[in-house]
Amino acid sequence: MSRSNWLPVGAVVLIVNALQWVIAEGVTAAAWSDPPYSYARNYISDLGVPDCRTKFQGREICSPSHALMNTSFALQGILFAAGVLLLALPLVEGRIRRVVTSLAVAHGVGFVMVGLFHGSANGAKYSLVLHVVGAGIGILCANTLAIMAGASRSLGLRLGLPKPYRVFSVTVGALGLLSEFFVSVSTSTAGVFERGGVYSWLLWSAVTGGLVLAGRLRRAEMMENVLA
């Protein structure tokens, strides 16, 4: 694949990644009926716990479709890393390239760990530790990448993204990181703040991918009009 095709492919990968997560989470949460799954109180990780009728940190856990969510966790890590690299590597070089590559790969590895090792107190102790470490690394790296994308004026110009995108990208990444600090404030809102730190980069993925595709379509139409 030539580098000229990396950008649209990367954009599509980011959009697909966001969609597959939202769909998988919605389907898995809907399958959890007794007791009803709470987006506000339950962690996202609860959806991937294979042990039914167990309690963890005061939450009763039973996720019949845990395999779907764990697959989505791992797939998300791979797709997000691939999408970011396909967008960034043709456009950046030197130290920035190394930083972006490291963050993207670390995020991917982190969320593959999240999918493989479950957030359950009933499993081996190392499993829960690896799950938490993987999630922490993944959340930190993805939101940092969003901030970097907005903070880099040259990257935005090379991607053909509008100026407001820079503000959006920095803001959504910063709010994602900030949200994670409030997860432990209250058990009744833990799921809300955890999602703030996760949905931030999923939103960033969808918006970034959509804007890149829209920009390329506009340029293609302009070229057709010039040649017509």
| Residue range 145-191, pLDDT digits in tens | 999 988 877 666 667 777 888 899 999 999 999 999 888 887 788 89
**pLDDT score at 185:** 81
Q: In a 3-state reduction of DSSP, which class is residue 218?
A: helix
65-85 residue pLDDT tens: 999 999 999 999 999 999 999
Calculate the alpha carbon distances from 177 to 7, 35, 220 in Å. Answer: 27, 30, 37
Q: What is the DSSP letter of 36?
A: B
The answer for residues whose C-beta is within 8 angstroms of residue 47's C-beta and 6 or more apart is 25, 28, 29, 32, 37, 63, 65, 66, 69
pLDDT category, 34, cuts 50, 70, 90? confident
Q: How far apart are CA 141 and CA 148, in angstroms?
A: 10
If one counts every other C-beta atom within 10 angstroms of the C-beta of residue 131, the result is 24
Which band of pLDDT confidence, cut at 50, 70 and 90, is reported for residue 228?
very low
Q: In sequence order, which residues have a C-beta less than 8 Å from that of residue 228 and are 6 or more positions away?
A: none
pTM: 0.89
Q: Is 224 exposed, middle or buried (0-12, 13-18, 19+ CB in 10 A)?
A: exposed
User: Three-class SS of residue 117?
Assistant: coil
